[in-house]
Amino acid sequence: MEAHSLDPAALARRRSTLSSSTYSTTSGSSPDLTTVITPDSEDDATPSVVPKIEELDEGATAGLEDAKSVLPLDHLASPASRKRGRPRKHPSLDQKKSSHVRSKTGCGTCRRRKKKCDESRPFCTNCEKNNVVCDGYEPRQPWQARRSTTLTVRTAIPAELPMLVEGVDGTVDQMFFHHFTAHVGKVLSLTDHQNPFLEIIVPMAMGHAGLMHSLLYLSGSCLMANDPSPRSEWEERQEHHSSKAMRLLQDDLAESASGDQSTVATIDDPSIAQTLLLCLQTVCAGDLTGTYRYHLDAMKIMLTQRAATVPNEQLRQFILEFLLYHDYSSSITSLGNPLDQRSIDLMEGFKLPEFMIQPQAGTLLGVMDGLFGFISRIRRLRDQIRQRRVQGAGHWWDADIIDDAFAIDDALRAWKCVHPPDSPRYAPSLLYRQCTWIYLHRTIQLSQPSPTFTEAVDQGLAYLRMLPWSTDDGSTQSILLMPLFLLGCAAFQPDQRPEISEAFQRLQSWSSLGNIRYAREIVEEVWRMMDEGMEEETWDWETIIAKRGWDFLVT
């Protein structure tokens, strides 16, 4: 009889039932497993499954004994208690209990009762069938994954702090602001005490974004005008402040214009202060396209045509003086922009308020001293003479022109300096009067060397030497470009020019204003023409500037 090989595990299970089962063997037949249902006790309602084992022949027994020798001893342990229920006809011998993952999304009642929840909403069906109160479901957290077993930790993202001062964002802007308060604001004003740029403009900018952007735009322009290779982040921030300043100013003006047209238009203090700073930016950046004219004209409109009222009277006086100073200075270098009637009216009506000390409280020389009124009258004479030159008149002047020139000369001789000799403004005031007279003499007389020109320029250089040039006390240098330009255009003698060139260099090093180098280039061009025998053409330096396509201020 052929021996049948048996699974050792199956054999072990067979042995585990020998104590409660009997073997029935059929001679000459193969071993066969049948099921016999026998109750374990009278109380058992469910019968137990007892395998029926037939007797094995000798070959099979021998195989059984061989298998027994290799079975581990732990397989001989007593069987576990049998489960209730109807057994399978062909039970799986290698069945393993599958693992179960408990759901965490069921309702509170089912989870507490450890029952499977169908997760119906708003209340599960199982709770309704069992007539129990459904506790509902826990709200899902947005950071929890629905079926994820990985714990997700939500980290707090720190909120970005607001800007300490609106408009000043980052280290570059802070550098621009510091440069204005430490240098630019002092360069632009003649006053050492009660500097309007530092005591009026800066505090106002701290609470007005548009004015702060204008201030940073001006300061950044001063830095970049004297840096041959400015950093890209400087250029980026400077362009940012430029666009923001222009847009916010337009918004402010549009808002003020949208009010009741029957009432007097009120221009906010920051708006007119922005216009002033934007005008100064063109000077500091060395703009040659005449952009400053738009800002000067806007200030005239704010102060005259719209009958605007500036609530801060001290600010209005400062801006009015600034406007007149730069407007009248533009007449010295501009060919096609003579002073209009608005400027003349503003100059004639310019009066200091009673709370200001007259006229020492002025920020800029010339306006409050009355000297700029002479400059505007000399400019009109130059326009008349230029017209006669174009017409080919034999003489540049006529009786009316000479009469006006004599009247200006008498007024300049009668002019008295209001500053005491020990004042830092005493020498600059005398220098301004001297250069104003040189401007008159250069306009009336022939453009050629003369003892009078030499004496007048020498006296101007003497006043120039009286000025302090130290960095600690250099406030008077802020108004020296215009007198230096007029001195240079009248320096026919070569030995007078080095001192003027040195003064240009000191002024450039001290102030770093972008328009200084262009004024110096024009003066050096005039000197070259003088040395080449072209003295006559040097009379009309306005045309020399215009031929280069330049339009800038000597302020």
- Kindly tell me if the per-residue pLDDT of 71 is higher than 60: no
Q: Which range scores top for mean pLDDT: 135-139, 155-159, 531-535? A: 531-535
Structure tokens at 67: 């298998």
Phi, psi of 268 (to 5 degrees): -65, 150
pLDDT (tens digit, 9 = 90+) per residue, 255-287? 776 655 544 445 678 888 999 999 999 988 888
**HSE of 16 in the Cβ direction (CA atoms, 13 Å)?**
18
Lowest mean pLDDT among 33-47, 211-225, 302-316: 33-47
Which range has the worst mean pLDDT, 129-138, 491-500, 511-520?
Answer: 129-138
Task: Kindly list the distances between the CA atom of residue 283 and the CA atoms of 275, 292, 304, 315, 520, in Å, as whole numbers in the listed order.
Answer: 13, 7, 24, 21, 14
How large is the angle between the packed helices 292-300 and 341-348, nearest 10 degrees?
A: 60
Q: Which residue has the higher pLDDT, 304 or 42?
A: 304
pLDDT at res. 458 = 96
In this prediction, residue 46 carries a pLDDT of 45
Q: Is pLDDT of 244 > 80?
A: yes
Measured CA to CA, the distance from residue 62 to residue 535 in angstroms comes to 140
pLDDT at 80: 53
Asked if the model's pLDDT at residue 168 lies above 60, the reply is yes
> Cβ contacts of residue 474 below 8 Å, gap of 6+?
468, 510
The rounded distance, in Å, linking the Cα atoms of 58 and 327 is: 132
pLDDT (tens digit, 9 = 90+) per residue, 49-63?
444 444 545 544 444
pTM of the model: 0.65
For tokens 């703009």, name the residue: 287
Beta strands 48-53 and 33-38: pairing type? Answer: antiparallel
In contact, 109 and 133? CB cutoff 8 Å? yes
Calpha distance 530→535 (Å, rounded)? 5
Place of tokens 């030497």: 465
pLDDT above 60 for 92: no
Determine the pLDDT at residue 313: 73
The position carrying tokens 């509902």 is 136
CB-based burial, 173-201: b 16+ in 10 Å, e otherwise: bebbbebbeebbbbbbbbbeeebbbbebb
- Find the distance separating the first CA and the last CA of the chain, reported in whole Å: 129
Given a cut of 70, whether residue 24 has pLDDT beyond it is no
Range 150-172 average pLDDT: 78
Alpha helices for 258-301 (secondary structure H): 269-284, 292-300
Whole-number pLDDT of residue 5: 46
**What is the predicted pLDDT for the residue at 161?**
86
Encode burial over 447-472: b for 16+ CB neighbours within 10 A, e otherwise: beeeeebbebbeebbebbeebebeee
